[in-house]
Amino acid sequence: MSFGGFIGGGSSGGGGGDAGLMMADNLYSTIPTSALAHTQPHMVSPPPMKPKMEGAGDMGLIGENFGPGDADKSKEEEYESRSGSDNIEGASGDDQDTQGDKASSSGRKKYHRHTPFQIQELEASFKENPHPDEKARLELGRRLNLESKQVKFWFQNRRTQMKTQMERHENNMLKQENDKLRIENIAMKEAMRNPVCSNCGGAAALGEISIEEHHLRIENARLRDELSRICGLANKFLGRPLSSLASPIAPGNSDLELAVGRNAFAALSSVGTPVPMGLDFTSAVTNPLPILPTIRSSMGMTSFDVSIDKSMYLELAVAAMDELLKLAQIDNPLWFRSLDGFSEALNLEEYNRVFPPCVGTKPSNFITEATKATGTVIINSTSLVEILMDPNRWTELFSCMIGRASTIDVVTDGTGGTRNGALQLMHAEFQVLSPLVPVREVKFLRFCKQHAEGFWAVVDVSVDSIRGGPSAQIFSDCRRLPSGCIVQDMPNGYAKVIWVEHMEYDDSNVHQSYRPLLRSGLGFGAQKWVATLERQCECLAVITSSTVPGGDHGVISPSGRRSIAKLAQRMTHNFCAGVCATVYKWEVVQVGNADEAKLVMRKSMGNPGEPPGVVLSATSTVWMPVSEQRLFDFLRNEQTRSQWDVLSHDGAMQQMFHIAKGQDLGNSISLLRSSATSPNSNQNGMLILQETSTDVSGSLIVYAAVDIPAMNVVMSGGDSSCVVLLPSGFSIVPDCYPDSAGPNSSSGNFGKEATAGGGSNGCLLTVGFQILVNSLPASKLTLESIDTVNALIGRTLQGIRSALECS
């Protein structure tokens, strides 16, 4: 209890503040005897209580403003905890002594209580600006009928009160935190009394090690294991051990077994796999792979799942690259030569013994398709790698095999401005041009690495097993095991390509007519990829050459040839999309089978290069008892075209020009017109643009009616993207049956004997038409249109059979 207020009221005339600072042993010597006579021992009368202001509630007496020096420390603390609703007339600064003398002489201080309206206005002003300047205080005092000093003291007291409340709140928070820590400390001490080993589950003795040191050791072990794994993976990317960063640590000796990469492909861990040498280590360190910082960030909690996925992608890609390199070795005992002599088939028994499952165990209903082929292409390794890593250019190069492709995520772009070390997550739809073979939809990683100068490798591997379990598999009908190509530059400007294709798929949805073809590898196998790559690279070299081939007689300029080739490429791509119902949004009208055509429709909104309206695509596959080459020569011959083509109007077709795409005469682009049409007639006339392609895996004939004025623009080198066309055509593949009896052979043998060229003289013919049935996109498809399209396919097939004398 403070005596300052009592002593200040004596007759000594001294300031109350000075009396409040006296020591206890000198206290009674300064008090008058008359005052002591009327004072009870050990009792001091408190200052008189002031009544509450009506309507002010509990805050009515809070924050009364006293003049400086009129109250001791305890009173100041008491008043600081109150609201600034009361104010005493007082002064500060130079007027302090004068006001103190007046207060002493008066004997009793004069209090001033603010009205509720004044308090409300002051509180509102305080919320807007707790530190008003002199001008603001004068304006507020004038409006509330208060002096500037009164306003000043009220704001001072209000700020003090706010500070006190905040400190009290912080103290409460710190007290709660302290209680929480105390409880945790008790729990940790309780846990330390009976420690349990995380490895064996038994009792563990910590000895004299503190809990902090124990946690540090655990964290250190985890970081050491993580660093070791990252260095091992970086070795695979950079081609040289990172000895300057960390020493290699065997995974089995690690203190902790992290979850990163410990799944079905853990047996192919990159730490224990030999590292190919010969890469430029300096450039790799100067431009580190972006994946490595991402993996290191997984040590924290930010984007933890994403970082774990990327590290698992990295380990899976490295394991797939190692497997591809081993499978691509020359004279590898894992392969045996197939009967056609063009490709090699995988020895599955030996493969399963050498390689652990890279993407998990094969489902029981899946069959394996694994082939290897070698070829030579007119392109250098760097250009081919750029095409393979670009999904759009990759789709254009293999338009007959890929419906559409896209890049889902780019894990890393590579190092040194090249594709070396590039890793990306992709999605693709692989197709065979027939309604009897479903499209294979695959989500996979594509990893590119340069092993030496002019020596590249690109590998694909499915990622369905990354998150584990069949329920995590996005596409369950097929999966891509380590597959890809090895590209090595040759001195003559060519490149040698070794292609390995390894897939597992469910063939229950594949029609039995196509199962021998797929198992032979001519549908999705390595020989199909290599044959298509050789043909397309040769076509690209011829079309882009400034030298006009001798067979073209210089009719079309080089720019015109390139423009026509671009138009033909778009025509072929649209035909394949119609046969397999990819790229566009197709609606199934008629499911189709071996006896009837498959019908799908889409609504075209008149985009550049296609007419507006309802487009109906009809496709049908039949077996023909003739060789593939004979059927191909018959269908591409303009002299016999009138026997099956309704656009020829039963007349012979004339070839206006011919553009060769390679040494094989079957690879060409030609423009045809009916002999009934005058060569000089440019009005209401129609021409037929036709592209033919052939290789060991099959043949393709695609054609479409085009306007004469539009073709004149294209032939002069103009833009071909606005030429409207709806393509039709034929796809021919060998049937791969063991004899000439066809798919209805009594033997029913579709096993190992059903190889390419295995003795069958038959082939599988797929015919496809795209027809504009209505020029209004909002119109509905009628039964009459469906009957017309079915009749067109039937009439076309009947004409081909009759001309070739087939039953």
Kindly tell me if the per-residue pLDDT of 196 is higher than 90: no
One-letter amino acid of 683: Q
Higher pLDDT, 596 or 438: 438
What's the mean pLDDT in 516-542?
A: 92
Structural contact between residues 520 and 369, judged by C-beta atoms closer than 8 angstroms: no
Distance between CA atoms of residues 738 and 743, nearest Å: 10
Q: In the chain, which residues fall in CATH 3.30.530.20?
A: 330-466+475-543, 554-676+685-737+760-804
Instruction: Express each pLDDT in 413-429 by its tens digit.
Output: 888 889 999 999 999 99
678: how many CB neighbours lie within 10 A of its CB? 9
In three-state secondary structure terms, 638 is: coil
Distance between CA atoms of residues 151 and 162, nearest Å: 16
Kindly tell me if the per-residue pLDDT of 601 is higher than 50: yes
Kindly tell me if the per-residue pLDDT of 142 is higher than 70: yes
What's the mean pLDDT in 681-696?
A: 79
Under DSSP, the state recorded for 526 is H
Six-digit token string for 108:
């009793």
Q: What is the pLDDT of residue 216?
A: 80
Distance between CA atoms of residues 516 and 523, nearest Å: 9
Q: What is the pLDDT of residue 109?
A: 55
Six-digit token string for 314:
């990295």
Six-digit token string for 506:
């469910």
In three-state secondary structure terms, 696 is: coil
Q: What is the pLDDT of residue 546?
A: 74
Band of residue 576 on the pLDDT scale cut at 50, 70, 90: very high
Question: Was domain 117-168 assigned CATH 1.10.10.60?
Answer: yes
Chain centre to alpha carbon of residue 435: 31
Distance between CA atoms of residues 334 and 346, nearest Å: 6
Comparing 147-156, 535-544, 669-678, which segment has the lowest mean pLDDT?
669-678
Distance between CA atoms of residues 87 and 68, nearest Å: 12
Kindly tell me if the per-residue pLDDT of 343 is higher than 90: no
What's the mean pLDDT in 2-25?
A: 38
Distance between CA atoms of residues 564 and 716, nearest Å: 9
Query: Hey, which residues does 668 pair with through a beta bridge?
Result: 660, 692
Q: How is the chain split among helix, strand and coil, in percent rounded to 5?
A: 40, 20, 40
Higher pLDDT, 353 or 676: 353
User: Phi then psi for 634, rounded to 5 degrees?
Assistant: -70, -45
Distance between CA atoms of residues 351 and 372, nearest Å: 14
414 exposed, middle or buried (CB, 10 Å; 0-12, 13-18, 19+)? Answer: buried
Structural contact between residues 249 and 228, judged by C-beta atoms closer than 8 angstroms: yes
What's the mean pLDDT in 476-502?
A: 92
CATH code reported for the domain at 330-466+475-543? 3.30.530.20
Structural contact between residues 712 and 679, judged by C-beta atoms closer than 8 angstroms: no
Kindly tell me if the per-residue pLDDT of 14 is higher than 60: no
Under DSSP, the state recorded for 304 is H
Instruction: Express each pLDDT in 728-770 by its tens digit.
Output: 999 999 988 776 555 654 343 333 333 333 445 789 999 999 9
Strands (E) located in 80-122? 86-88, 111-113
Kindly tell me if the per-residue pLDDT of 797 is higher than 50: yes
Q: What is the pLDDT of residue 272?
A: 35
Give the strand pairing for 653-660 and 668-674: antiparallel
Strands (E) located in 275-364? 335-337, 344-346
Band of residue 235 on the pLDDT scale cut at 50, 70, 90: low
Q: Where are the alpha helices (DSSP H) in 459-525?
A: 515-520
Residue reference for tokens 């201080």: 109
Higher pLDDT, 683 or 558: 558
Structural contact between residues 275 and 239, judged by C-beta atoms closer than 8 angstroms: yes
598 exposed, middle or buried (CB, 10 Å; 0-12, 13-18, 19+)? Answer: buried
Distance between CA atoms of residues 567 and 711, nearest Å: 10
Contact residues for 449 (Cβ-Cβ < 8 A; gap 6+): 237, 321, 420, 421, 456, 457
Instruction: Express each pLDDT in 103-124 by its tens digit.
Output: 444 445 556 788 988 988 899 8
Distance between CA atoms of residues 65 and 89, nearest Å: 8
Under DSSP, the state recorded for 203 is B
What's the mean pLDDT in 689-715?
A: 93
Residue reference for tokens 């254009």: 396
Kindly tell me if the per-residue pLDDT of 83 is higher than 70: no
User: Phi then psi for 521, rounded to 5 degrees?
Assistant: 95, 0
Q: What is the pLDDT of residue 677?
A: 55
Q: In the chain, which residues fall in CATH 1.10.10.60?
A: 117-168
In three-state secondary structure terms, 174 is: helix
Averaged pLDDT of the chain: 74
Under DSSP, the state recorded for 363 is P
What's the mean pLDDT in 464-476?
A: 52
Distance between CA atoms of residues 465 and 316, nearest Å: 10
What's the mean pLDDT in 303-319?
A: 72
User: Phi then psi for 615, rounded to 5 degrees?
Assistant: -105, 130
Instruction: Express each pLDDT in 244-281 by its tens digit.
Output: 333 333 333 333 332 233 333 333 333 333 333 333 32
Question: Was domain 554-676+685-737+760-804 assigned CATH 3.50.50.60?
Answer: no
Kindly tell me if the per-residue pLDDT of 161 is higher than 60: yes
Higher pLDDT, 407 or 556: 407
What's the mean pLDDT in 472-477?
A: 55
Distance between CA atoms of residues 209 and 202, nearest Å: 18
Kindly tell me if the per-residue pLDDT of 294 is higher than 60: no
User: In the chain, pLDDT over 70 holds for what percent of residues?
Assistant: 66
Kindly tell me if the per-residue pLDDT of 625 is higher than 50: yes
Task: Report the predicted TM-score, pTM, of the whole model to 2 decimal places.
Answer: 0.63
Comparing 70-79, 166-175, 492-501, 618-627, which segment has the lowest mean pLDDT?
70-79
